Chain A
Amino acid sequence: MAEKLRATPLLDELEKGPWPSFVTEMKKSAAKNPMANDQLGILEHSYRDKIGHWKHGGLVGVMGYGGGVIGRYSDLPEEYPECAEFHTIRVNQPAGWFYTSDVLRKLCDVWEKHGSGLTNMHGSTGDIILLGAKTEALEPVFSDLTEMGFDLGGSGSDVRTPSCCCGESRCEWACYDTMKFTHELTQHFQDELHRPAFPYKFKFKMAGCPNDCVASVARSDMSIIGTWRDNIQIDQKEVAAYVKNGLDIDADVTSRCPTGCIKWDGKALQIDNTNCVKCMHCINTMPKGLAPGKDRGATILLGAKAPIIGGALLASVLVPFYDMEDAEDIYELAEEIWDVWGEHGMNRERVGEFIQRIGLGNFLEQIGLEPEPEMVMHPRTNPYIFFELDEEG
């Protein structure tokens, strides 16, 4: 039991107002756990000094794994001895983040027994994040977690824990089974997930449709986004019912179509599907009236990243349409990419930055993929496709 809560006048400000506060939650843990109490103290100290008091890196982990634990040390160990070592453990979340309440309780029990009790559900990688373990606790936590069927996620220069939207389990827009694919991909790349061998991290994110609820287009090196290649399904009766019930279809749907390919003549909706860019706007607005087509698969994009070393990048299309019948093809594509990037990439250079450096034309040639018109970055630009005049031309 912690004897007395650390004084936190600055953090207390964050408890004011009508919103939930992480400080209140941390205090609940601090009342029971000395590590959480010292963490509260060090956070207050950081707010006061306007500087973080954490160092990171070093040699911490569990036997046989190169990722999953991020070493964190405080630079004020005398003042906050209980969080002198405060390592982060990433635990591979179930695909789609489905848990039973029983499992969640057991996870918390394991964490209260061995660590600070503080969690982050979920980190931006998608993992269950257990915040604050001493080095001596790592193996026991790992052993309790594996007994429950959990495994560590990725960290460092490896495949980061793949994550996906809930897909077909709850969402009618899903164009492929994101959860099944993600689970299988995770199993297939266990070695790449636990044994870092790349120039830098590599993230996979899977979204069932272009709404991209997991922000894969901005947050993953390889993003696999469900799509369709036939016509949007229209139920004209339901569309008419929306209009009858007050939807201003011109103002809220047709005039907002980015390519102007959808028309309403007062009786029926018409879509020029050849010009539809699958933005999902009309479908999201009239979910009973419209649905993605029936010929479904996914678009594979490459190269997004959040700003860490360089600036942020959005992904570019690599494979415009893949039917998602055989995951082996995607595994092979990923391995081709890793070989080229591994061979020529610089330390801490994400694959998107690598492509920018060598040019997508060269990159495609190296991985043996034919350029396609859909790979353009913006209309009227095609930075990746080059026409070579033949000798006699």
Chain B
Amino acid sequence: MATTTEVAEAMYAMVKEYHGKKNLKALDLRKAMIEKFGDDNCDKKICKGAIRELIDSGKCTYSYVGGSYIVLPPEA
């Protein structure tokens, strides 16, 4: 199984890559991570934990633009 931190890092890379191009929802990140790590190594629970880690560390934040998205903080 991947660790929460590994998944959080991969999610962060993805948010950075899409920054300014496409807003990503929690579910987009979850789907992408399960595809990347494989469903034997990554699941809903790990992805939830990874998102919590990203948000609590301040590396990402939530934004609301007609829906809730996970984005880089404004100063990033």
Contact = CB atoms under 8 A, between A and B. Distances in A.
B51 interface: yes
Contacts, number: 66
A393 interface: no
B25 A156 contact: no
B27 interface: yes
B64 A195 contact: no
B11 to A, nearest CB: 13
Contacts of A198: 27
Task: Give the dominant DSSP class at A's interface.
Answer: loop
Interface string A331-370: 0000000010011000110000000000000000000000
Contacts of A57: 64-66
B26 A156 contact: no
B55 interface: yes
Most chain A beta-carbon contacts within 10 A, residue among B58, B63, B71: B63
B20 interface: no
A59 B67 CA distance: 12
Contacts of A196: 26, 62, 64, 68
Question: How many residues of A sit at the interface, in one of the four size bands?
Answer: 20 to 34
A197 B64 contact: no
A157 B56 contact: no
A240 B27 CA distance: 60
A348 B65 CA distance: 11
Interface in B29-72: 30, 44, 48, 51-52, 55-56, 58, 61-68, 71
A61 B66 contact: no
A328 B59 CA distance: 34
B68 A66 contact: yes
